[in-house]
Chains A and B, each alone.
Chain A
Amino acid sequence: MTLELASNRETAPTSRADSPLAVRGMTVSYGQKPAVFSVDMTVEPGNMTAIIGPNGAGKSTLLKAALGILTPLAGTATVYGKPVSEQRHRIAYVPQRASVDWDFPTRVIDVVLMGLYPQLGLLGRIRPVHRARATDCLARVGMEDFATRQIGQLSGGQQQRVFLARALAQDADLYLLDEPFAGVDAATEKAIIAVLKSLRDAGKTVVAVHHDLSTVAEYFDNVFLINTHRVAEGSVEEVFQANHLQDAYGGRLAGAQMDALQLS
């Protein structure tokens, strides 16, 4: 791993040092078949990038491997030109909502305060300034009235907003979201995209695993198409095209679906 890292650094293009998230040769396997194979990705700063691909294409896996949640077979990831482990304070990650047990005995405000753990440390006291910050983050996602609710009492959309509020509390430069719109109501989807766009407009970088092709052009600036291998990467105009999509989805998109996307 370290050898690879060193050689990667030497040969890396200069733009890589500025990239909020640059992945090289990422390969992950859950068994015999690789879930992600030798994937390169270079995220542009100050943009919103959608990671798109069919089910089981390795979208979430790529994110998790880049963040070190999963251990890849091979490959490296850098955040603003440095290893992820040195840049944790600049990263906020929003896992899939279904990946946690929402019956966990805790309140909404406590989940948001988890985002302040890097500041608080093991035993640092939670002061009024921390609570105010957590409440402020809840207000940004329209959840300030739910601060003392148990998280299991929230709807799916409300839970997703709480996760986003926790990420906001981290005050990061790079926001990575895994299926933030999965199973949420329309109002939540609007609220979330508004927050993400405000982050982008403030110079932050947003990367989201996304599954709804019909909203890609409306929500995102860039697209990263994956189906185990990298298919295409670039602006929505360049990449979100019929030929690339059919490549990624292996011809599984019906003509009517393609028409609905109004691709040129």
Chain B
Amino acid sequence: MNGSEFVPLSLVPMLTGIFVAVACALPGNFLVLRRQALIGDAISHVVLPGIVVAFLLTGVVSTWPMLLGAAGAALVAVLAIEGVLRLGKIESGAAMGVVFTAMFAGGVLLLEQSDTSNVHLDVEHALYGNLESLIWLDATGWGSLFDPEALATLPVELPRMAVTLLFVALFTAIFWRPLKISTFDEGFARTIGMKTGPLGLGLVIVAAIAAVAAFDAVGSIIVIAMFICPPAAARMMTNRLEYQIAWSVLFATLAAVLGYVLAGYGPLWIGMRDSVSAAGMIATVSGVILGFSALMGPHRQRGAAAPAA
């Protein structure tokens, strides 16, 4: 594939996919180690009704109203979980599961009933995103990357996701030590004066920002997969958090590139005519990577080498 075809059609979706995958995988590492992986799942479910309501109120699909809507939805979710816990008298895991899926389902119904025909927001996009539609019409080849006029028509999702990734990466880099220490040993972290409560909340907020920004581009399937699969696979490749982060970035990138290519060309290779959902394929590939590292990763057995005390 040459530049005149690749740059307008595939460069933007591929890069967006990579940015989404990495932006979710970075906080995902800490969420998985904190045994809060479900929070990533929860966020991606809960944000949907928030985003739809934000759209219904403002009439546009833009980042800040969406973030506010998602934050509002998260608040409603917390209150609803508390309500279900108290009134329903069921265990907290079940209460969360019920609230998240109910809110997501409500979001789907709301979306179906609202007139979103003129924007990229409908039930299908909520699930699969619109990665393939991120076409850069004015690009003619690699030279367009240096052409201000062509750059002006770059799909807005790409720079939005790039800024999100930059923010997530900066957060991870700056708060690396507190995140690592408080994830490993929260009690100790508190005794040396770390504000573990706000730090944990900050991590969840950063994950939520990544989820909301990614949601618009790739839908909710890939967001769920990217929070968990690359970090979980990376954990089995190394016993050091520094390297685990690097592996998770590598796996996220690999899943995005491989998933996009396989979705676009895989069906043609096996004789089918149409391509399949890129977001779905990226999530699938990340699951396959997790499977491979679970079978062959050098550090998949934990504590097995520990001699008896």
Contacts and interface: CB of A to CB of B under 8 A. Distances in A.
Interface of A: 64, 67-69, 85, 88, 91-93, 95, 99-107, 110-111, 114, 117-118, 120, 122-123, 150, 152-157, 166, 170, 183-185
A114 B181 contact: yes
26 contacts: A67-B190, A67-B191, A69-B190, A88-B191, A88-B193, A93-B187, A93-B191, A100-B184, A105-B239, A106-B241, A111-B184, A114-B184, A114-B188, A117-B177, A117-B181, A118-B193, A120-B177, A122-B174, A150-B240, A150-B299, A152-B302, A153-B303, A153-B305, A155-B307, A155-B309, A157-B309
Given A99-B185, A117-B181, 8 more contacts: A68-B191, A91-B191, A104-B184, A114-B181, A152-B302, A155-B309, A170-B192, A185-B309
Question: Which of B178, B180, B192, B299 gathers most chain A CB within 10 Å?
Answer: B192
B183 interface: yes
B244 A95 contact: no
B201 interface: no
Contacts of B184: 100-101, 104, 106, 111, 114
Contacts of B238: 105
Given A64-B187, A106-B184, A114-B184, A152 B193 contact: no
Interface in B114-130: none
B87 interface: no
A95 B235 CA distance: 25
B6 interface: no
A69 B240 CA distance: 27
Interface string B154-196: 0000000000000000000011111011011101101111000
A107 B240 contact: yes
A68 B191 CA distance: 7
Contacts, number: 90
A122 B244 contact: no
Interface string B296-308: 0001001101111
Given A118-B192, A120-B177, A156-B309, A150 B187 contact: no
Contacts of A103: 302-303
Contacts of B241: 104-106
A12 to B, nearest CB: 23
A153 B307 CA distance: 8
Given A107-B239, A152-B302, A153-B306, A85 B193 contact: yes
Nearest to B301: A152
